[in-house]
Structure 1
Amino acid sequence: MLPRLRSDRKALVLLGSCLTRPRRSSGELKQIHAHLLISGGICDRFAAGKLISSFVTVDLHYALLLFRCLPHPPSTFLWNTLIGAYTSRNQPLSAFSLFSRMLAAVRLPNNYTFSFLLRSCIAISSLFVGQELHALIEKLGWENYDFVLNGLVHLYASCGCMGDAHKLFDVCHHRDVVTWSAMVNGYVKGGQIGFARELFDEMPERNAVSWSTMITAYAGVGMFTEALDAFNEMQVAGVEPNHAGVVGTLCACGFLGALDQGKWIHAFVERNGMELDRILGTALIDMYAKCGCIDNADQVFEEMIERDVFAYTAMISGFSNHGQSEKAIEMFARMEEEGVKPNEVTFICILSACGRLGLVELGKHFFESMGRVYGIEPGVEHYGCLVDLLSRAGLIDEAQKLIREMRIEPDSYVLGALLNACRVHGEVEVGKDIVESLVEMGLDHSGVHVLLSNMYASSFRWEDVRKVRREMEENKVRKVPGCSMIEVDGVACEFVAGDQSHPCMDKIILTVKSMDKQLKSFGDDNCLTHLSNL
């Protein structure tokens, strides 16, 4: 048996300086290692432990080699040091491999070991492994330690087992903000937004993570007004938004057209020096494009250091929707030149741009290149865009042929594109056949019947118009009312046709009538606002 040696003071002083120095040199640590080997100080458990702890931050592979070559059995602290290092580097499988060797070496884990392993288990989303760890935790008596219990709550919540998570949560006496946030996030992932909000309101302390969880949850399920409300509450609470919170709020701003609030967030990003990475940059591009500021979106795009397919797709979509289809096509070409591979959504956007410009041959080229060049199987949305492109160009027969030869069943979007073309080009009988197909598929919503009625009216077939309207009444098919949205003082206000419930409706009607009168004085019949339904 090797004698227990104590390392000399010089080696310990050097190790201590390496541990406290912000940037440690691997070469310096290896010199100390050599000194300990020559002097026999490596047999000192304390010195060996300090050396391995130092190597973990600069050269984990070398730390593992040193760990394996120790002349004495490693302590639980050293096992935990390496397991924790692999966990922190998001290498959960390596952490579990080391844990298996720890058990084989008959070294029992402690509460710190389990806290690292539970984090690794969350990283691989393995409920089975987590349950095995839970059983071992109870067997060894570590289940009452706060950060072990919190880790178990986080594990079950992350895996969607909210029943088990809540049982542990109820017996946890020292819940930290991470535990609360894990529960809220678990309910959010399960689609139980109401439960998530109730729990969120009960939180004794909320940080940027918990706030961003709620904001992202609201935005993810289309509750954009609630997302902005949560963002405003966070500001009142004095909590600065993090990256996820900013992205979620920008998403809500885009859908609500809340440009002022979106600009404020952009200014916040610049003021706080937040990195304009691919996710944040794309969120800003999408927000500006949806709020009608395509130039701002383009400026953000050019400022981005790294641009991925999502950033390019957001710009292509923005240009296309703003009537700048030429720029959309140019952006697609630039994307290809920079070696960024388009995805399914990119092709939907570029095909729509071709449709607006009537570029039939170019649209066909893009459609064919999906499978031939990029290996992307066209979906029903892509067929719908191509049908729309052909229909807009008056190629009704070719569009019908494409629908017949489709590898997948056409949906309401595909048939609706052809139906709209029939209205434009006066193909009433073809339109009637399409409506009958939609009825058989159960996709005959109110817009389809209204479109058919308008087609009959354009052909002066008034008896058919009355027949369609009568069938709509008998089947209680109601036209979905249109709506518009405007931002006033940072608040997005929605107006639905026929709804006069707004508290300022009298002033709104008076203002719109005044605008209508002014437009009439200009003699621009195309801009007249009709208010007979108000």
Structure 2
Amino acid sequence: MRGLWAGGGAAIANARARYLSKIAMSHRPLPPAEIERLAEIILRQVVDSKRAGEGIEKSLGLYGDILVPDLVGKVIHRIPDPNTAWEVFQWAGKQSKFTHNRFTCNNLLSVYVKARRVEDAHLFFQSHMKNVFEPDEVSYNTLMNGFFKAGDVKKALALFGEMKDSGIAVLRSHNIVLRGLCSGGKISMAWEVFKDMSGIFSPNLISYTIMIDGLCKSRKVDKAITLFKQMVDKAIYPDVVTYGALIDGLGKQRRVKEAYDLFEEARAKGCHPTVVTYNTMIDGLCKCGRIENALTLYDDMVREPHLKPDMFTYSALINGLNLSNRGEKAYELYEEMLDTGCSPDVVTYNTLLDGLCKSGCEDKAMEIFRKMGVGNVCDPNVITYTVLIDRFCKVDRLGDAVKLAKEMEGRSLLPDAVTFTTVIQKLCKESRIDEAHELFESIGKTCKPDSVLFNTMLAGYCKITRIDDAKKLHDRMLDSGCAPTLATYTALVTGFCRTGRYSDALIMYHEMIEMGFPPERHLAELVDRTRTDHPPPRRPYFVTT
């Protein structure tokens, strides 16, 4: 049979025509296997016609007499493009021996919805389906699901209302509504639907799982636990999805012991947790400092033949090891991760680098950093550089910190104020004010310096008695809309006093008080001494006669 349809040419075309004519003349129902075969052949003809830029009517002409709804519906269902599916739908409708039914229409609806053209689906539903025959629960469910996924809850609920009025709202319809409302964060509305449906249907495992997941995602975990217990009391037993939803909810609220107990219960009852559930537990244990338990679960996971740790598994463990100051163990896990063919993302790299730096392994961190961006390895981002720059400043490797800061600019990464503040503070502390100024100006090209950064530079100028530069920076700070702080005025007043510019010091001191900043004790004492030792010149006293 396959040879009959392969290739082209007159002989093949004639054989195909005779075969189709024989089917048409027999008037026998097409068996399922025959329908599947013909659906694939017709689909291939449609694809070839579209690829050649031709209409489908010519290439499908031979098939008009053998069409049945099951065949047309299957062809339409397999066409991803709604426009082509509509073209096939129209062509089939023109054939004299064929009439569309709900099955063909529902498949076209499905194609529209999958392509996220739910409004077109709704138009077809209203203008075509309702005028020919009453849509069934499949029609409504398909369209309702499409509106929920598009975020149009109002239209989805309107359809649900029509279904209830027509008496065709089945259990699956209610579950679609529950999932749509929960996914949209409308948990209260979902809860009302769940309560109402209990008087019509007995909610099934899917209904309970949807509600438990929705309650957990809305941080109503206690209510989810109550519902979970009610479900079990009704002899509806949870599956791996139900357990996973509740474990995830408990994990996100740091209720790790309860989550771990539930995890063990699931395993004991033969519900093998998924990678996602393992990751939830491992992450929760790591964040609560139970790193050994997390590593044990990881070992269990590796032994499971159907499970494979993914990037999230390794990221959670690396983060947990870093929180436990075990940077070198995190590095071992990183190497194991690479050996399994799992590629870290930039968040995992940043976590690893941070842990190595805190463990005093700066050179190893730099070795990994230099591998980033090479081959398929992800590029470093602003946080990557910030982690390394901050560490190098803390361990007095200022040259490396400055080099990274300049390299960052060369990569066209836009630094924020936080990234360079640490370097500038260190440069100012070592009186390398010109290098600090250069970095400060480079930040201004990409982002607005904050008060901390302005104050750092300003204090650096005051320290080496470049008080005029400090005053210019104060004025620039005001012009940029960045409000001076107590630290700004303290540095300026102290700087003016140290350089003997006592009048300027008093002016700045009074401005500080007017701005609502109470002076610290040492600054007030400095100003009092300035007033005593260097009183302002007395104004001339004129006697009138």
Shorter-chain-normalised TM-score: which range? 0.5 to 0.7
Q: In the TM superposition, what whole-angstrom CA distance separates every residue of 1:151-189 from its partner, at most 9, and x where no partner exists? A: 112222222222211111012233222322222222223
Match of 1:233 in 2: 265
Match of 1:162 among 174, 187, 200: 187
2:245 is aligned with 1:222: no
Match of 2:125 in 1: 102
Match of 2:426 in 1: 390
CA RMSD of aligned residues (A): 4.5
Cα distance change, pair 128–50 in 1 and its aligned pair in 2 (3 A): closer
2:208 is aligned with 1:180: yes
Match of 2:101 in 1: 75
Cα distance change, pair 138–289 in 1 and its aligned pair in 2 (3 A): same
Cα distance in 2 for residues equivalent to 1:37 and 1:400: 79
2:174 is aligned with 1:149: yes
2:372 is aligned with 1:335: yes
- Aligned ranges 1:40-79 → 2 under 5 Å: 40-53=64-77, 55-56=78-79, 63=85, 65-72=87-94, 74-79=100-105
Cα distance, 1:240 vs structure 2: 1.1
- Aligned to 1:70, the other structure's residue is in SS state helix
Cα distance change, pair 38–116 in 1 and its aligned pair in 2 (3 A): same
Q: In the TM superposition, what whole-angstrom CA distance separates every residue of 1:45-103 from its partner, at most 9, and x where no partner exists? A: 343234434x35x888755542343225643222322444565x6x4x23443232232
- Aligned ranges 1:441-480 → 2 under 5 Å: none
- Aligned ranges 1:242-253 → 2 under 5 Å: 242-253=274-285
Q: In the TM superposition, what whole-angstrom CA distance separates every residue of 1:398-433 from its partner, at most 9, and x where no partner exists? A: 79999999723559xx99xx9xxxxxxxxxxxxxxx
Match of 1:495 in 2: none
2:440 is aligned with 1:407: no
Match of 2:6 in 1: none
Cα distance change, pair 48–343 in 1 and its aligned pair in 2 (3 A): same
Cα distance change, pair 18–43 in 1 and its aligned pair in 2 (3 A): closer
Q: So what's the TM-score if we normalise by structure 1?
A: 0.62
Asked if structure 1 preserves the Cα contact closer than 8 Å seen for 2:275 and 2:308, the reply is: no
- Aligned to 1:304, the other structure's residue is in SS state coil
- Aligned ranges 1:85-484 → 2 under 5 Å: 91=115, 93-107=116-130, 108-138=134-164, 140-142=166-168, 144-172=169-197, 173-204=201-232, 205-255=237-287, 256-287=289-320, 289-290=322-323, 292=326, 293-294=329-330, 295-338=332-375, 340-355=378-393, 357-367=395-405, 373-376=411-414, 378=416, 380=418, 382=419, 386=423, 390=426, 395=430, 407-408=449-450, 410=452
Identical pairs, percent: 15
Instruction: Judge which range, 120-129 or 206-215, deviates more.
Output: 120-129
- Aligned to 2:238, the other structure's residue is in SS state coil
Instruction: Judge which range, 369-378 or 179-188, deviates more.
Output: 369-378
Cα distance, 1:227 vs structure 2: 3.1
Asked if structure 2 preserves the Cα contact closer than 8 Å seen for 1:329 and 1:353, the reply is: no
Q: In the TM superposition, what whole-angstrom CA distance separates every residue of 1:183-238 from its partner, at most 9, and x where no partner exists? A: 22222232223223322333332222222222222332333343333322322333
Cα distance in 1 for residues equivalent to 2:37 and 2:63: 24
Cα distance change, pair 202–297 in 1 and its aligned pair in 2 (3 A): farther
Asked if structure 1 preserves the Cα contact closer than 8 Å seen for 2:279 and 2:312, the reply is: yes
- Aligned to 1:214, the other structure's residue is in SS state helix
Q: So what's the TM-score if we normalise by structure 2?
A: 0.61
Cα distance in 2 for residues equivalent to 1:121 and 1:343: 38
Cα distance change, pair 266–35 in 1 and its aligned pair in 2 (3 A): farther
Q: In the TM superposition, what whole-angstrom CA distance separates every residue of 1:111-169 from its partner, at most 9, and x where no partner exists? A: 22332334334434443443444444445444x42111121122222222222111110
Name which one, 1 or 2, has greater alpha-carbon Rg: 2
Match of 1:421 in 2: none
Name the amino acid aligned to 1:70: A
Cα distance change, pair 394–373 in 1 and its aligned pair in 2 (3 A): same
Cα distance change, pair 177–390 in 1 and its aligned pair in 2 (3 A): farther
Cα distance in 2 for residues equivalent to 1:60 and 1:15: 25
Asked if structure 1 preserves the Cα contact closer than 8 Å seen for 2:187 and 2:214, the reply is: yes
Name the amino acid aligned to 1:167: E
Asked if structure 1 preserves the Cα contact closer than 8 Å seen for 2:382 and 2:413, the reply is: no
- Aligned to 1:155, the other structure's residue is in SS state helix
Cα distance, 1:18 vs structure 2: 6.8
Asked if structure 1 preserves the Cα contact closer than 8 Å seen for 2:279 and 2:316, the reply is: yes
Name the amino acid aligned to 1:390: K
